Amino acid sequence: MDIRTRRGAGELEGAVLATLWAAERPLSPVEVHAAMAGDLAYTTVHTILTRLGRKRLVARVQARYHPTKDAAELVAEQMRAALELGADQAEVLRRFVRSLDGADVAAVRALLARE
């Protein structure tokens, strides 16, 4: 792979997690590699699974991996962490909401009305 097209660790981790989320059962590293159409070296897939395990985003049971969180839960946690970086969380939320399209604003309003 050319250095200019090299993907970052976060992107690779996301691709491996997406593969696991799409599976209906835990996968071995070989199965993850095959499901990713082999565009990565097997050792890279194994390394990413090990990293995700250290981050507790996947769990290994009998040499097979499964995600510990679904995609929505992981993104929600990332959004919360990003929000907490701002000194003025209300301003961060205001700017975030202003960046949403009409359908997303309606979804947020509906969620808040149910809470």
Q: Of 59, 62, 39, which Cα lies nearest the Cα of 50?
A: 59
CATH number of 3-67: 1.10.10.10
Per the listing, tokens 């929505």 go with 72
Q: Are 17 and 67 in contact (CB under 8 A)?
A: yes
Domain ranges of the chain: 3-67, 71-114
Q: What is the pLDDT of residue 9?
A: 62
Query: pLDDT tens track of the chain, all 115 residues?
Result: 444 456 666 889 999 999 999 998 999 999 999 999 867 899 999 999 999 999 999 999 999 999 999 999 999 999 999 999 988 999 999 999 999 999 999 999 999 999 7
Instruction: Kindly give, in sequence order, each residue whose CB lies less than 8 Å from that of residue 25, ignoring residues fewer than 6 positions away.
Output: 64, 66
| pTM of structure | 0.70
